[in-house]
């Protein structure tokens, strides 16, 4: 993979900058962490060289000063909101985050439930955490938030919230996903700290949009594509331009809410320490791009992937047409077409040749491998076997799994488990391959290639089952699908 981002420089520069901000506020800083603290695969895709756990590793350099508070919205608990990338609910992800942070030597002080208005599911989650010995605090839903600043910054507003007891200079406020109430938690804490005579500060750590690269840079456009469901729009920070005469990039929500934040800071602290939304940020990622063209191309590819994700969501009934239209516009602004994702035309061509669903995969060295639908295997399963054979240097005419070994699995599926589809899913195929590896050297060699699939690009000519989607996710493959079902394709015939 071509590298466009200096990760080591980033870790050093970012941790130093946060230390400077802690010192600026008398040794107590509430740092709102936007995006994913670890598993930041979006950043690693658009900034090749950025490691998915970079932000976590950066915090580990501050572990003696840092304390983590995990925030979750009562509304998200109540509706069982799911992380799309991991397929788990936000409340389950809180426990996962705690475990990962603790394993890395970071101190998790507590969990905060925000936007609380008596939800029974939130009460149950609070009790569950407390039984595990975890401190839990509650922030209430405040009427008129965020515009009624007089009420919000009062004993009836922030004053009604629990005060989160913290013991370290840097308090990192993070969450399973957006809209969890991280900023509100920081400001509520500032209110309580100042009431106690502690002159704490606030800063924001958002990787995207990157404030010191152009507005229409593909990396910033890719952020808009990633947040199309939130309708975020990148824009020039007008407050920063007015204050300093410098053009910097922020996004609409921060710009729109800044006058309100200024008013809150003035009520809490006596004056606002910042002249612009950009001032609030501490992100150094833009200073660590070492090959702009590599990052531009990676970002263009990400926009294409986001387009296919939005189309898939629309067909499955979980997306909106507005998201698709927005990403179509971003494709034009980035001067990229979907055909520039190499696996797309390869998969469609294979489908046209065979008259059945097909798939294509791009290997790390740029070679394209395809898979077709057969009596024994679905296109995804055939693709995986073909890719593993290609990586292992095994002749494609050789069977790494005997057809005789596959037929009993088909019989089990159709005759005993009630499945109408006799073809093997990708997980079943990999299990069959692992069994074959016990006495077949070619199968063993093919199996050993699995780690090399991580980061590979795949496109399928039809929508996949959740089983296959999950398997590709486990393999670390970047998957897109044509927004049509195999069933619909048959009906068209």
CATH superfamily, with its number, for domain 7-212+241-288:
dip2346 domain like (3.10.630.10)
Q: Determine the Cα–Cα distance for residues 409 and 406; give it in Å rounded to an integer.
A: 5
pLDDT for the residue numbered 376: 87
pLDDT for the residue numbered 39: 78
- Report CA-CA distances (Å) from 372 to 6, 288, 423, 435: 40, 42, 12, 23
pLDDT for the residue numbered 493: 43
* Cβ–Cβ under 8 Å, residues 453 and 477: yes
State the SS3 of 332-354.
HHCCCCHHHCCHHHHHHHHHHHH
Q: Which stretch of DSSP H or E encloses residue 125? A: helix 120-131
Q: Determine the Cα–Cα distance for residues 473 and 210; give it in Å rounded to an integer.
A: 27
Q: In 321-470, which ranges are E strands?
A: 358-362, 368-372, 457-460
Q: What is the pLDDT of residues 80-116, one digit of tens each?
A: 988 876 778 999 999 999 999 999 999 999 999 999 9
Q: For tokens 């606002």, what's the residue?
A: 272
- Angle, nearest 10°, between helix axes 321-333 and 292-316? 160
CATH 3.10.630.10 residue spans of the chain: 7-212+241-288
Q: Determine the Cα–Cα distance for residues 177 and 175; give it in Å rounded to an integer.
A: 5
Q: Determine the Cα–Cα distance for residues 429 and 450; give it in Å rounded to an integer.
A: 13
Query: Judging by DSSP bridges, how do beta strands 29-33 and 201-205 pair with one another?
Result: parallel
CATH 3.40.140.40 residue spans of the chain: 342-492
Q: Is the pTM of this model over 0.85?
A: yes
What is the third-level CATH fold of 342-492?
Cytidine Deaminase; domain 2 (3.40.140)
Q: Taking every pair of C-alpha atoms in the chain, what is the biggest distance, in angstroms?
A: 78
Sign of CA dihedral 284, 285, 291, 293: negative
Q: What is the pLDDT of residues 21-76, one digit of tens each?
A: 999 998 899 999 987 777 788 999 999 999 999 999 999 999 999 999 999 999 99
* Cβ–Cβ under 8 Å, residues 243 and 275: yes
pLDDT for the residue numbered 489: 52
Q: How many CB atoms lie within 10 A of CB 393?
A: 10
* Cβ–Cβ under 8 Å, residues 478 and 45: yes
pLDDT under 70: residue ranges of the chain: 85, 487-493
Tokens of 357: 């669903």
């Amino acid at each position: 993979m071509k590298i466009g981002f200096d990760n080591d420089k980033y870790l050093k520069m970012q941790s130093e900058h946060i230390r400077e901000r802690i010192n600026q506020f008398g040794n107590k800083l509430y740092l709102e962490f936007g995006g994913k603290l670890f598993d930041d695969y979006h950043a690693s895709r658009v900034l090749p060289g950025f490691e998915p756990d970079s932000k976590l590793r950066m915090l580990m350099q501050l572990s003696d000063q840092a304390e983590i508070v995990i925030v979750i919205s009562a509304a998200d608990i109540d509706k069982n909101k799911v992380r799309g990338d991991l397929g788990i609910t936000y409340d389950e992800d809180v426990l996962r985050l705690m475990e990962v942070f603790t394993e890395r030597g970071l101190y998790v002080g507590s969990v905060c439930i925000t936007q609380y208005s008596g939800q029974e599911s939130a009460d149950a989650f609070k009790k569950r955490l407390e039984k595990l010995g975890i401190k839990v605090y509650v922030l209430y839903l405040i009427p008129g938030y965020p515009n009624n600043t007089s009420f919000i910054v009062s004993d009836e507003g922030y004053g009604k919230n629990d005060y989160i007891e913290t013991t370290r200079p840097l308090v990192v406020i993070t969450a399973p996903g957006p809209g969890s109430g991280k900023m509100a938690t920081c400001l509520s804490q500032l209110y309580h700290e100042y009431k106690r005579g502690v002159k704490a500060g606030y800063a924001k750590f958002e990787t995207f949009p990157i404030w010191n690269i152009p507005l229409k840079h593909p990396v910033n456009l890719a952020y808009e594509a990633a947040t199309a469901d939130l309708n975020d729009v990148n824009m020039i920070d007008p407050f920063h331009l007015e204050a300093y005469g410098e053009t910097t990039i922020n996004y609409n929500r921060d710009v729109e809410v800044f006058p309100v934040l200024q008013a809150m800071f003035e009520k809490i602290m006596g004056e606002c320490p910042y002249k612009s939304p950009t001032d609030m940020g501490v992100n150094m990622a833009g200073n660590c791009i070492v090959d702009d063209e590599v990052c531009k191309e990676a970002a263009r590819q990400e926009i294409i992937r986001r387009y296919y994700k939005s189309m898939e969501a629309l067909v499955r009934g979980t997306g909106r047409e507005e998201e698709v239209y927005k990403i179509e516009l971003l494709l034009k602004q980035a001067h990229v077409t979907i055909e520039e994702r190499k696996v797309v035309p390869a998969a469609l061509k294979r489908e046209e040749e065979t008259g059945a669903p097909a798939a294509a995969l791009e290997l790390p060295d740029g070679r394209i491998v395809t898979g077709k639908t057969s009596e024994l295997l679905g296109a995804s399963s055939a693709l995986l076997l073909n890719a593993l054979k290609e990586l292992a240097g095994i002749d494609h005419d050789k069977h790494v799994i005997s057809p005789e070994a596959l037929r009993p699995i088909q019989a089990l599926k159709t005759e005993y488990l009630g499945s109408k589809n006799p073809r093997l899913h990708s997980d079943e195929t990999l299990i069959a391959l692992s069994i074959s590896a016990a006495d077949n050297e070619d199968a063993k060699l093919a199996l050993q290639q699995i780690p090399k699939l991580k980061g590979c690009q795949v496109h399928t000519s039809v929508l996949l089952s959740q089983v296959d989607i999950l398997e590709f996710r486990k393999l670390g493959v970047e998957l897109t699908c044509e927004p049509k079902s195999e069933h619909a394709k048959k009906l068209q015939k």
